[in-house]
Amino acid sequence: MAQQRNSIHGEWSSRWAFILAATGSAVGLGNIWKFPYITGANGGGAFVIVYLLCIVAIGIPIMIAEIMIGRRGRRNPIHTLQLLAEEAGAHPRWRYLGGMGVLAGFLILSYYSVIGGWVLAYVFRTASGVFDEATAEGVETVFQSFVGQPMAQMVWHTIFMIMTMVVVSRGVQSGLEKAARFLMPGLFVLLFILVGYSMTTDSFGDGVRYLFQPDFAALTAKGVLIAMGHAFFTLSLGMGAIMIYGSYLSHNESIVRTTLMIVAADTAVSLLAGLAIFPIVFANNLEPGAGPGLIFQTLPLAFGHMPGGTFFGVLFFIMVVFAAWTSSISLIEPAITWMVERHGLTRPAACIISGVLTWVLGIGTVLSFNDWSDVRLFGKTFFDLLDFLTASIMLPLGGLCISIFAAWVMLRETTLQELAIGNGTVYRSWRFLVRYITPLAVIVVFVSGILNAIGVVTL
């Protein structure tokens, strides 16, 4: 059997550094911005249940598989998959799976950076005090006029992209371990403060019911596909980000235990964000299905009405910026390591090239909220289409192939050695899940969801 190897990029300084960095990758705009608005757009409770099921039955096993593959290969995702395929006597063409991941990360980052820019802008909007005693209409007007102007968004998008590339160019180990250490606890505290505020509104019960009381009539096959896609998105799975982070993990650490911690933290942040937001939505007669602007049209209302709101509001948006930042670097890290290893570029050069390309693509997302808002393909704007293509198609497809790779291509002995948990119940359940359940679930949801989304069947 081949020997375990080491990464040419170095290792995390400790187990906690890995857990924090991977949690930093997982917890991001997906939890605080995206989860509430897609929950609102898909009817609430039933959607949340499907999402939680996908986290447990698909997300956990695939995260274990991705970290394991990354740590085994110790290269960028493209070369890792090629190497491990060859090691197992399979075709090196498996590298294309890594290639799809690199592409997905690049596409996601292009719009992630635009929304990251919105959050940056809201740090300053909130600080200016415009939300003091604001009404629901006032807050909505501020948001609409902001997204209505391409120029302002372009400036913030540029700043966010530069921030991302500066950190990535320095190497993930140096700055990011530190940032995540104070960020994650801070984010939790602020979310608790916001949930505390929401509890004081009369509509806390409505919010809780909306999130946790399933109304399966409100759920479509497309909604199930979105929930599954979001399980991948929120855990940073299906494109090699967690794989590359796993490649910096020491051999001595337990992959299963670290995975459970990362998933628990990520899920907790999403549910807390939902508990903070939906009571405010109902207390102010807002529309839960308001779309990508949801948190920007609800949270400022809470900040405008609670004591010390400006202070907490600024702090909150700063935390969200940090959360987005520790995620955005992981979106581009696979591409960077590939450019460094394959083309011999320096890290800074790779960052400049990929930064400029991603930035240019991001312009499409900026314009889809204003000048191009009427331009539709399959009934979707540029941003919606990019989001659907990546989160609902590329990530589940990537995850499907990753589980097939881990369960059917890699030798059983290799995975046994790498996971190092013995051949007991935990290992056997994992293997059963990635062998049968995950691929089957992804295929079923995928096919029905896509048919439903393009209108072939109505489910």
Q: Is 76 in the site for ligand TRP (CB under 6 A)?
A: no
Q: Among 22-30, 157-165, 210-218, 376-384, which window interacts with ligand TRP (CB under 6 A)?
A: 22-30
Using the rule CB under 6 A, which residue among 24, 30, 36, 279 binds ligand TRP? 30
Query: Measured from the CB atom, is 29 or 404 closer to ligand TRP?
Result: 29
Can you tell me the distance from the alpha carbon of 388 to that of 382, in angstroms, rounded to the nearest whole number?
A: 10
**Spatial CB neighbours of 259, under 8 Å, sequence gap ≥ 6:** 60, 63, 64, 67
Identity of the residue, 187 or 301, whose beta carbon is nearer to ligand TRP in the bound complex: 187
344 class by beta-carbon count within 10 Å (0-12 exposed, 13-18 middle, 19+ buried): exposed
* 322-361 footprint of ligand TRP as x/- string (CB under 6 A): -----x--xx------------------------------
Choose, by CB under 6 A, the member of 31, 76, 203, 298 that binds ligand TRP.
31
Shortest distance (Å) from residue 32 CB to ligand TRP: 8
User: Residue 416: CA atoms inside 13 Å, Cβ hemisphere, count?
Assistant: 9
β-sheet bridge partners, residue 380 = 377
Assign 39 to helix, strand or coil: helix
Segment lying near ligand TRP (by CB under 6 A), choices 27-35, 52-60, 256-264, 446-454 = 27-35
Binding string to ligand TRP for residues 95 to 134, with x set by CB under 6 A, is what?
A: -------------x--------------------------
The span from the CA of 261 to the CA of 267, in Å, is 10
Residues 6+ apart with CB under 8 A from 277: 36, 198, 207, 294, 295, 298, 299
Closest alpha carbon to 4 in 238, 255, 172: 255
Within residues 196-255, the interface with ligand TRP by CB under 6 A covers 233-234, 236, 239, 241
Provide, rounded to whole angstroms, the least separation between the CB of residue 356 and ligand TRP. 20
CB of 191 to ligand TRP, least distance (A): 14
Residues 386-405 within binding reach of ligand TRP (CB under 6 A): 395
Looking at the Cβ atoms of 25 and 201, the one nearer to ligand TRP is 25
Q: What is the DSSP string of 92-147?
A: GGGHHHHHHHHHHHHHHHHHHHHHHHHHHHHHHHHHTTTTTT--HHHHHHHHHHHH
29 scored as a contact of ligand TRP (CB under 6 A): yes
Contact between residue 431 and residue 81 where contact means Cβ atoms under 8 Å apart: no
Is residue 28 within the footprint of ligand TRP (CB under 6 A)?
yes
Helices (H), 247-293: 255-283
Query: What kind and span of H or E run contains 205?
Result: helix 204-212
Considering the complex, what minimum distance in angstroms separates the CB of residue 266 from ligand TRP?
Answer: 7
Instruction: Give me the residues that bind ligand TRP (CB under 6 A), please.
Output: 25-26, 28-31, 108, 233-234, 236, 239, 241, 327, 330-331, 395
